[in-house]
Amino acid sequence: MKKQPIGIFDSGIGGLTVFKEIRKQFPQEDIIYFGDTARVPYGPKSPQTVLNYSVQNARFLLQNGAKIIVVACNTSASVALQKLREILPIPIIGVIQPGAAHATSVTQNGKIGIIGTEGTIRSDAYSHAIKNIDPKIQVFSKACPLLVSLVEEGWEEHQISELIIREYLQDLQQQDIDTLVLGCTHYPILKKAIGKIVGKNIKLVDSAEAVAANLKEMLPNPETETDGSNKFYVSDNEDKFRQIATRILNREIEPLHRVTLGESWFVE
């Protein structure tokens, strides 16, 4: 029987933080990754536009044989998960539910901060997911739109990033939160800089590990002993993707292809 890959998509390189964890925990699985680098960022775009892009991305992965799709983009997951589950014949996993569940288990004082793109924060998806688990938990949210661009620029060590993160987080820090959810898959790349600013008393939660654990429950053990393959696709700018992705994953990004997604895949 032909091995079918796990499909992962994001608006750009952020989903590689999820790829990395899945690759670590599922060494024998084939993985196909799509980064929508032509249309990044998704954060400031309308829910309908993000939904359309997400459906296109997921259909592309399905057409390329994916047996399961991981929506490694919080902005997509916050608006498109339900639709994707309705229209696609394979299981779909998002990042929000696993991240919310993990944050709920980590907090000691019941005060959780969420940072994400404008779209994710506007959707209130994390707040709903957390309150569903424990209605007593207080949630404080902050949209941090510039952080995605800093990561896409490769500026995770740059002093400008530190200034911007400091500015974004100051309101949340005043709320006595003890847990901060990195509610955008780009943000774990800034984890060191964020950790330096918030200090050791605030635990940082990134959903990548929780997503991989979730996946474990859904995938039977593969019958092969051989290492799984990787395939990377982007919708633009493959050289820049290769350069940043190589640094993030510390491995060769091959094979990498550019694709144009069909307009007919838009949903009404």
Residues marked active site are found at 73, 184
Does residue 188 interact with ligand DGL by CB under 6 A? no
Does residue 233 interact with ligand DGL by CB under 6 A? no
Pairing of strands 92-93, 138-143: unpaired
Q: Restricting to residues 4-33, which ones interact with ligand DGL according to CB under 6 A?
A: 10-11, 14
d(CA 49, CA 40): 12
User: Which residues in the chain belong to E strands, given as ranges?
Assistant: 6-10, 31-35, 68-71, 92-93, 111-116, 138-143, 179-182, 203-205, 230-234, 256-258
Q: At its nearest, how many Å lie between ligand DGL and the CB of residue 204?
A: 15
d(CA 80, CA 119): 12
Here's the x/- map for ligand DGL, 71-110, by CB under 6 A: it reads as --xxx-----------------------------------
Estimate the crossing angle of helix 238-249 against helix 16-25, to 10 degrees.
50
Nearer to ligand DGL, 3 or 240 (CB): 240
CA proximity to 121, closest of 159, 156, 55, 74: 74
Q: Which amino acid, 192?
A: K
Q: At its nearest, how many Å lie between ligand DGL and the CB of residue 199?
A: 24
Q: At its nearest, how many Å lie between ligand DGL and the CB of residue 182?
A: 9
Q: Restricting to residues 37-66, which ones interact with ligand DGL according to CB under 6 A?
A: 40-43
Q: At its nearest, how many Å lie between ligand DGL and the CB of residue 172?
A: 18
Does residue 184 interact with ligand DGL by CB under 6 A? yes
d(CA 247, CA 212): 22
What residue ranges bind ligand DGL (CB under 6 A)? 10-11, 14, 40-43, 73-75, 117, 120, 148, 184-186
